[in-house]
Structure 1
Amino acid sequence: MVNNSYQPATVLLYDPDPALRHNTRSALLNIGFGDVVAIQEFNEFIEKTSTKDFDLVLADSRAVDGDPVEAVRKIRRHVIGKNPFVNVIVSLWNTTPETVTNAINSGADDVISRPMSRTHILERVGRLVRARKPFIVTPDYLGPDRRQVPRGYPQGSAMVVPNSLQAKIENRPEFAATPEAIQAAMNAVNDRKISIFTEQLIRLSSAILLLSDANDGQGDRENVIQALRQINDRLSARIKGTALTPVLSLCEGLNDLLDNIGKSGKILEEQEQELLKQIPYAIHKGCKEVQQSASLAFDIRDLSLELQSHRTLSRSSV
């Protein structure tokens, strides 16, 4: 039975199999969707995803010339497409644990095994309309929160994101994926990632301090230094060109400090230990307060001057 409330919503369907694609498109139209764009070629799927607006993406995981699951991951990261929060269902023929986990970790809203019936599709779509899971943000994941019992993240870490499917089907404009709503949600995602990265800087720098006194911990210390550098680089890329750009001087100073520590391979000097405590904390605090606190700007400037002094001394001793 056709549900007329689905009429305003649009679907992008990708399936390389002509017969199955036709059947799935017919099922979606019978449910009530007014516009179902069915794609056979993976490159065209990417082109449509990148240039058009859809309320639901239903993609088969199979492709001869690409990886649809990786494409979903890029949608969530806002690498392709206009709306990283678009509803996404991935269909799978191969349901091994590894394949299912990979699809889930892409950030897809739902994963459905093939073959799938009209009833299955209607049930999954209805769930996205009535009870879409809130999204969580981690260093490498943006997507629905599938935790049964929240662990490892603050209770308030989940966020409700724009849901154009619900906005159109239930006539709820407050959930519409307008450019303004998408930008506001992406700003929140960016803030949470920055917070995660700065907290990781503090934890990893503390680990380096603990390992600096261990006689047999040089290899472990080098691994932690490398991990700290990677997080620092990711943070720098995320804040560059934003209101947090003044913090970049501290990130650069931290990389210089890590260079010196890594080259020496010795027990840290007192000044190095102090800087390794201060810089990550200042980065963390600066990212939270630099726009609100003029006094903090002076704190950052003073620490930057200390870093410059440390760089000069380090270079002169080489």
Structure 2
Amino acid sequence: MLNINSGKAGHSVRSWNTENDTGRDYTEVNIALFNEMSQTRSILRDSLRNIGFRPGNTEVLAAPDKLHHTVSRGEVDFLVLEADERPSEMCELVRDIRLGKLGPDPYLVISIITWRADNHLITDFIKAGADDVIVMPASVSFASGRVDHLIDDRREFSVTTDYVGPDRRSKSRSSIDELGTFPVPNGLRYKTTGDESAKPNAARLRQANRIVEEHRLRRMTLRLEQLAGQGERFANERPGTPLPNAPMVKLLDLTEDIEMHSRDGSVSMTELTASMTGIMQAVMSSSSGSADMFALLRVHAQALLSLQRGDKDATELVVRAVKTAKKVVENRSRKSD
């Protein structure tokens, strides 16, 4: 069950401060506040002002096209989205940012504002990659504490085949993951504390993007190995029976994605992924995938994982896998002629 961290009702009124009690300077932070609900717009705007953000640096947006344009410019340090009117669209927007499809900074600090204490809705926001979800109404002190957390204790990021964002796993689960998590640029921290290591400049964004690509490729390869193993067991248990459509399509998508993400890799990696695609095409062209073809696909995934890890015997595994695949595919072609 997800814990909903709602604030206390009511909003304290105080003069705008350039620094809060911790000495952080909020005056240079550029905020984009998306809010289509005119009746709550002033509440959120005043809350940001009372936390210490400069009103002149807070861009209030009420139209989705203007929101997309603002994010794409890359001049935002802190994105605040009131999501009740368009929850699905806001989730999609957050995903697009995290996957590098919108704007230059996939690691932009993002807070979602909702007036509905709905576990399912909040879970959707979290799964999209938001840093935080605040259930309104909330006091200024509560909201300020959440902002401080994003500055001082922002979660490190993790990557799966279809997710990039703050790591939400328990410590026990993340500790056994060979890829683990990694820190990302934090424009909000940089602007409020002056911490140069958090600055989302071009070099740090490239470094983080490189880690994301490496992790995503590894995740896809691990998933391919798992699905190929399942296909092998299925073919052994039900000879001649086609693999169900869903896992077959997923296998095809994974092999295509892996080949696309490996184009800038080594010669060994390029040869291996091309061979892997050939195996998958042979599987798709037959009425049913045989166990040996799925086993060969699994071996290719294992060889690719070995390459990704930098194992000493990786090249030997690649050569062996490619040679075996070539023989198997040629033999199947001769039999079908």
Fold shared by both chains (TM-score > 0.5):
yes
Number of matched residues? 312
How many Å separate the matches in 1 of 2:243 and 2:167?
Answer: 33
Whichever residue aligns with residue 300 of structure 2, its letter is: I
Cα offsets for 1:138-176 (capped at 9, x unmatched): 112111122333326527612111111112211211111
SS at match of 1:129: helix
| 2:297 aligned with 1:276 | yes
| 2:22 aligned with 1:22 | no
Whichever residue aligns with residue 44 of structure 1, its letter is: K
Change (3 A) 1:38 1:155: same
1:219-234 to structure 2, matched below 5 A, reads 220=243, 223-234=246-257
> Which consecutive residues of structure 2, in runs of 5 or more, have no partner in the other structure?
1-14, 20-24
**112-121 or 55-64, larger mean C-alpha shift:** 112-121
Cα offsets for 1:91-129 (capped at 9, x unmatched): 113332221111111100000112334333212111111
Aligned-residue Cα RMSD (Å) equals: 2.8
SS at match of 2:58: strand
**64-73 or 213-222, larger mean C-alpha shift:** 213-222
Cα offsets for 1:38-61 (capped at 9, x unmatched): 111111001101113211100011
Cα offsets for 1:285-313 (capped at 9, x unmatched): 23343xx97x8557645644553444343
Alpha-carbon deviation of 1:65? Answer: 11
Whichever residue aligns with residue 152 of structure 2, its letter is: R
Kept after mapping to 2: 8 A contact 1:39/1:45: yes
Whichever residue aligns with residue 157 of structure 1, its letter is: G
How many Å separate the matches in 2 of 1:307 and 1:248?
Answer: 15
SS at match of 1:212: helix
The alignment's TM-score, normalised by the length of structure 2, stands at 0.81
The alignment's TM-score, normalised by the length of structure 1, stands at 0.86
How many Å separate the matches in 1 of 2:257 and 2:87?
Answer: 30
Change (3 A) 1:118 1:244: farther
Kept after mapping to 2: 8 A contact 1:42/1:66: no
Alpha-carbon deviation of 1:274? Answer: 6.0
Partner residue in 2 for 1:215:
238
Whichever residue aligns with residue 158 of structure 1, its letter is: T
Alpha-carbon deviation of 1:64? Answer: 6.2
Kept after mapping to 2: 8 A contact 1:134/1:160: yes
Whichever residue aligns with residue 129 of structure 1, its letter is: I
Work out which of the residue numbers 293, 296, 307 in structure 2 matches 1:286.
307
Work out which of the residue numbers 186, 206, 212 in structure 2 matches 1:189.
212
Whichever residue aligns with residue 193 of structure 2, its letter is: E
Alpha-carbon deviation of 1:217? Answer: 8.8
> Which consecutive residues of structure 1, in runs of 5 or more, have no partner in the other structure?
none
| 2:52 aligned with 1:39 | no
